[in-house]
Amino acid sequence: MFGIFDIYFLQAVIDGVLLGGVFALLALGLNLIFGVIDVVWICYGELLMAGMYGMYYCYTVYHLPFLVAALVSIAAVGGLGVLLHLLVIAPLLGTAPLNQLLATGGVLFLLQSAATVLFGIDFRNLGIRLPILDVAGMYLSYARLIAFLVALAGMAALYLFLSKSYIGAAIRAIAQDRQIMPLMGVDTRRIYIVTSAIGGGLAGLGAMILVLQYDVQPFVGLTFAPITFLVCVLGGLGNMIGGSVAAVLFAEIISIAGLYLDLEWGYVFAFGIFVVLMFFRPQGLLARRRS
């Protein structure tokens, strides 16, 4: 009895880690945008949705090879990010931060309903059936394993880009001081556009991973967006390492509570614990102490 229970528990823990990787990847783009441009894209979940539809159409409808489909949809969502920045965020950069939050909320409605109009409310999936791995009596989803690895690769690539490349250095500099850097000759507008493209592209990458495991429908964004926001906030908005820690923490709570109770209870606990943690670490789990 205990032995069986144990292996289920271990499986839930491993599942949690894998899921945590996915959450961390989802949070990455949002965190980058927040850290650099200081706005929260409330419509981030809808960018994921757009990417998932992109994958569905490229792969299932137009029969492109998987990797080509992935590249096309990542580029498309990156382009969407740039559009979002130019049309919505840029005109509002000087105004109250909440206006930017609310404007991207409008985009949320727009994208969600545009998807309803264009694609209908049917649930669609890629039709790829990935095998389930049997490791020492535990059943691990192959899709989740791939997702986890892609998430790790995505994070590593972003880290390398930010730390090694010239424009990456400029992005980090802007994130540190938005006032001074323009005076030092950094073109803020260009950096913001590049950042928005990367943030959107990361949403596209996240979408590629999600679409392996979940069906697409116009409201799918609302399923993933709240978790993504809370992961970012708990990690400290703009703090990517904190975000990854928070992602794994969240995923473990959801996964382990889902083992003993329903999945919904997992979410109730995860969000409840989030609220409590916020009171103790309002600046995020790994926040540097600021005056």
Partner 1 sequence: MNRIFPWLMGAVLVALPFVYHQPYPLHLMVLVLIWSFAYTSWSVMGRFGLVSFGHGGFMGIGAYVSALLWNHFHLTPWLGIPLGMAAAAAVALVIGYPSFRFRITGHYFALLTLALSVIVLQLVTATREFTGGSLGYTPERYNHGDSIYALQFPGRDTWYLIALAVWAAGLLIRWRVDRSMLRYALEAIAEDEDAAAAAGVHVTAEKLKVTVLSAAMTALAGALYGQYQMFISPDTVSGVAVSLQMVFAVVVGGLYVLLGPTVGAALTISLTETLRVWFGTGAIGWDNVVYGTLLVLFIIFLPQGLLGSLMAWFGPARVRGR
The residues of the shown chain that bind partner 1, judged by CB under 8 A, are 40, 42, 87-88, 91-92, 95, 97-99, 101-103, 105-117, 121, 218, 222, 225-226, 229-230, 233, 237, 261-262, 264-265, 267-268, 271-272, 274-275, 278-279, 282
For residues 204 and 75, the answer to whether their CB atoms sit within 8 Å is yes
Question: Whole-angstrom Cα distance, residue 144 to residue 239?
Answer: 25
Nearer to partner 1, 74 or 233 (CB): 233
- Give the tokens for residue 195: 């950042």
Nearer to partner 1, 62 or 123 (CB): 123
- Give the tokens for residue 269: 């606990």
Nearer to partner 1, 6 or 262 (CB): 262
Q: In whole angstroms, how close is the CB of 183 to partner 1 at the nearest point?
A: 26
Q: In whole angstroms, how close is the CB of 226 to partner 1 at the nearest point?
A: 5
Q: In whole angstroms, how close is the CB of 100 to partner 1 at the nearest point?
A: 8
For residues 104 and 41, the answer to whether their CB atoms sit within 8 Å is yes
Q: In whole angstroms, how close is the CB of 89 to partner 1 at the nearest point?
A: 10
Question: Whole-angstrom Cα distance, residue 81 to residue 235?
Answer: 23
Quick count: other Cβ atoms within 10 Å of Cβ 99?
14
For residues 154 and 240, the answer to whether their CB atoms sit within 8 Å is no
Nearer to partner 1, 103 or 171 (CB): 103
Nearer to partner 1, 33 or 126 (CB): 33
For residues 181 and 174, the answer to whether their CB atoms sit within 8 Å is yes
